[in-house]
Amino acid sequence: KAGVTQTPRYLIKTRGQQVTLSCSPISGHRSVSWYQQTPGQGLQFLFEYFSETQRNKGNFPGRFSGRQFSNSRSEMNVSTLELGDSALYLCASSLAASSTDTQYFGPGTRLTVL
């Protein structure tokens, strides 16, 4: 069974642009969560989706948004990019939204904002 895939793996953008990152969960998994990882702030929760509904959102500005499609694939969008948005963005999937489920992480998308 294929693992969690994230595309693209690397991305370079300039300030003010917007970006869309994609996450395909493990087949059969319906819950997807997103995290931002930076050297200064560490790993921070962005949002969680289950069955196309956002169930939880972290403390990030409205420039960060996401959605989930009927096939459980998820996208996150960052508008009006700032230098501080440079980070590794990790996606994790689990079978359902139960806290007993194990979350499996993808390899991440490295975003660099110039």
113: nearest Cα among 33, 22, 38, 23:
38
Q: Of 66 and 108, which CB lies nearer to another protein in the complex structure?
A: 108
Interacting residues with another protein between 28 and 87 (CB under 8 A): 31, 33, 35, 42-43, 45, 48, 50, 55-56, 58
How far apart CA 80 and CA 65 sit, in angstroms, is 12
For residue 45, give both structure tokens.
């929760």
Q: Which string of x and - marks every residue 2-21 that binds another protein (by CB under 8 A)?
A: --------------------
Torsion of CA 94, 99, 101, 103, to 10 degrees: 50
**Binding region for another protein (CB under 8 A):** 31, 33, 35, 42-43, 45, 48, 50, 55-56, 58, 88, 90, 92, 94, 97, 99-108, 110
